[in-house]
Chain A
């Protein structure tokens, strides 16, 4: 085997565990320690739809250059799950390292001659130190953390600091954890030369970034946006949005004097009820939202149409997972784009926001509430499992104390008193196709109206007359035009256009796309890039497409759904749009993008 060249701060470490064994928190502490050393990290949890006993992986990409997408090729793998030993060993790149529990012998059939083996007697060490099987299991995790930290030259003081913070509320556990850590450290020091040539080294590359998952940021965004009613039904990968909302509400939204809550948090009987509750609450003047994933959105479709047609603001956080049907509930995809954009029967369309970082999850959740209230319609925040459930290095969450909620056109009792003409719930008074609404209980005799999903006139009266129906739905189409002026603008990655090829992407594809730009540029391939942040498409998106002969749309589904949306909404010639697709359930990589683009170039361009 060739000697490993020195490789600093550019590696992928993977932990292979059995789920339900407490490994997640040990692995997270390991990732956080490297982050604390000022080096960008991207951890990813690869887990099964199961509670205990199945394989789970935790992968950390460490990249001094700040590449936050997934990268294929594993430099060091800690394999403590006998069920998948073969697979794990095979997944290590040639020349890489396999760290295993040497309490049991590794049989010859598992020996590859092109990788390095490092045996640490993890469970034997744990059994020598702890009585109960549960503790042995838990501390075994910390033992391997100590060993790998030593091998990769992670600063032990930093690991200890992270452990101390983790157990700040249970200080009795700190010492035993340190002890376990030391067992792992010693096991390496006594038997192997360390650190390895693959290693980390302190840098100052993370600035004021935070390490947070998108769902937590969405939950916090909803609190900052003033949501008071949250209704939901458990489903992976959106559950932790609800959990974050509740956890932080308990800290931030309880009246200190009375102990009473300034929020209502309801686990509904299903997703139909969840969105029904949200519609009822916003109809009645509270900011309210729900969070769900694939199957849940499918169930909500009837109500989504009601909110569109009756013009009731709704915020829906849609954390996509692998479909169709129950699909791959714990894997990631961007495959609910068409079904979200045009959800429900009849002519319907809904604004969508596409955050790509946790900071944007926060910002766009707040934006979603303002947009929903301003446009009086349902707004979906489209996240995915990768963004929602994995920690990401992200700019800090930002709040401007001068910002005022945009609650849209709501009439007060005084407004109603002063009105000269009779109130018409669906009258376009201002010419922007957005009518005024009233909240129940506002005025004893003025402003009441009847909300309905049936066809209605400007005064909310039932009508099946063709002309009345047309006036209403054509106004809704005009409101869509208003929406285009209010949604976030796209982001560009060049000062001015340099190429007649444009790459277009959105959401979590961003990390890999940005890395791909560098990879392509290194080979002399220059293209322009645009990141779309919202549907309907902003005029700048249309302009970018117009200015490029060929557009490459990068997305994570089989059917190129985003490409279809572009073609459909802008009446584009399909020939002009090529696709880069990734839909195996793992986050897209820069190499995938690069190689698919190169293939396109060889053929079409």
Chain B
């Protein structure tokens, strides 16, 4: 039987904040937000497997995903492949740091990116959920672990 260990909300919030301010600038802070039903335009996920098993996902409305892409690539116009790349790198950075919060060693997967919601494995439960907003737009970071049999 695997023991379900989960990252603390504060740790996840802190590392997401660091990813955000490092690459998207500190003039607009990432603020904790109330849970909303956000219109997911883009999402991305990475899985962690080894001593700890889990999945980390990021969900963003289209406009925000595009803004993130513009800031990372320093371009005016974004193609879908650019957005997929940038959102993928975002979840890679968040996921890699979540992995380090947990008992290791574990392996991080390459990101899976989707226009819309990425499917999460049916045998998993959400153990940490960070609702936030940036420049008035909501976003969601979640950590899932496998349900104990």
A binds B: no
Binding site for B on A (CB under 8 A): none
